[in-house]
Structure 1
Amino acid sequence: MKNRQNSIRIQTFEAIVIGVSAGGLAALARILPKFKKDFPLAVLIVQHMRRDADGFLWRHLDTLSRLTVKEAEDKEAIQPQTVYIAPPDYHLLVEPDRTLSLSAEARVNFSRPSIDVLFETAAETYQQRLIGVILTGANNDGTRGLKTIKSYGGLAVVQSPESAESDAMPRSAIEEVAVDHIVPLDRMGRFLNDLACGNSHG
Structure 2
Amino acid sequence: MSEQVRDPCALRFPVVALVTSTGGLDALSTVLAPLPADLPAAVLVVQHLHPDHPSLLAGLLDRCTALRVRSAGDGDELETGTVLVAPPARHLLVTSEARIGLIDAGELPPARPSADLLLATLAVTCGPRVLAVVLTGKGTDAQAGVRAVSRCGGTVLAQDRASSTAFGMPSAAIDTGLVKTVLSLPDIPATIVRHVHDHRA
Q: Secondary structure at the match of 2:158?
A: strand
Moved beyond 2 Å, runs of 4+:
52-55, 105-110
Q: Which residue of 2 aligns with 1:29?
A: 29
Q: Give the AA of the match of 1:183.
A: L
Matching residue of 2:127: 127
Equivalent in the alignment of 1:73: 73
Counterparts of 1:190 and 1:107, CA distance in 2 = 38
* One-letter amino acid of the counterpart of residue 68, structure 1: R
1:96-147 per-residue CA deviation (whole Å, 9 max, x = no partner) reads: 1011010014368531210000000000111011101100000000011011
| TM-score between both structures, scaled by the size of structure 1 | 0.88
CA RMSD, 1 decimal: 1.6
Shift of 1:191: 1.4
Q: 1:93 to 1:108 in 2, by over 3 A?
A: farther
CA distance in 2, matches of 1:93, 1:177: 25
Q: Deviations over 1:80-101 (max 9, x none)?
A: 1100100001000000101101
CA contact (8 A) 2:89 2:104 kept: yes
Which ranges in structure 1 are unaligned for 5 or more consecutive residues? 1-11
Return the TM-score normalized by structure 2: 0.89
Q: For residues 21-61 of structure 1, what are the alpha-carbon distances to aligned partners after superposition, in whole Å with 9 as ceiling and x for unaligned? A: 00000101111011112101000111001113333111011
**Counterpart amino acid of 2:14?**
E
> Hey, what does 1:4 align to over in structure 2?
none
- The residue type equivalent to 2:141 in the other structure is D
Which deviates further from its counterpart, 190-199 or 97-106? 190-199
* 1:65-144 mapped onto 2 (5 Å cutoff): 65-106=65-106, 109-144=109-144
User: Displacement of 1:74 after TM fit?
Assistant: 0.3
| Partner residue, 1:5 | none
Are 2:176 and 1:171 aligned?
no
Kindly indicate whether the alpha-carbon contact (under 8 Å) linking 2:35 and 2:67 is maintained by their aligned counterparts in 1: yes
Instruction: Give secondary structure in 2 for the equivalent of 1:97.
Output: coil
Aligned residues: 188
Q: Distance in 2 between matches of 1:139 and 1:113?
A: 13
Greater Rg over alpha carbons, structure:
2
Q: Is the 8 A contact 1:32 1:64 kept in 2?
A: yes
Q: Given the superposition, is the C-alpha separation of residues 123 and 48 from structure 1 closer, same or farther in structure 2, using an over 3 Å criterion?
A: same
Aligned-pair identity (%): 31
Superposed displacement of residue 14, structure 1: 1.5
In structure 2, stretches of 5+ residues that fail to align are 1-11
Task: Give the structure 1 partner of residue 184 of structure 2.
Answer: 184
Report if the CA contact (8 A) 2:156-2:181 is conserved: yes
Q: Quick check: 1:60 aligned with 2:60?
A: yes
**Equivalent in the alignment of 2:39:** 39
Assess, with a 3 A threshold, how the Cα gap between structure 1 residues 108 and 159 changes in structure 2: closer, same or farther: farther
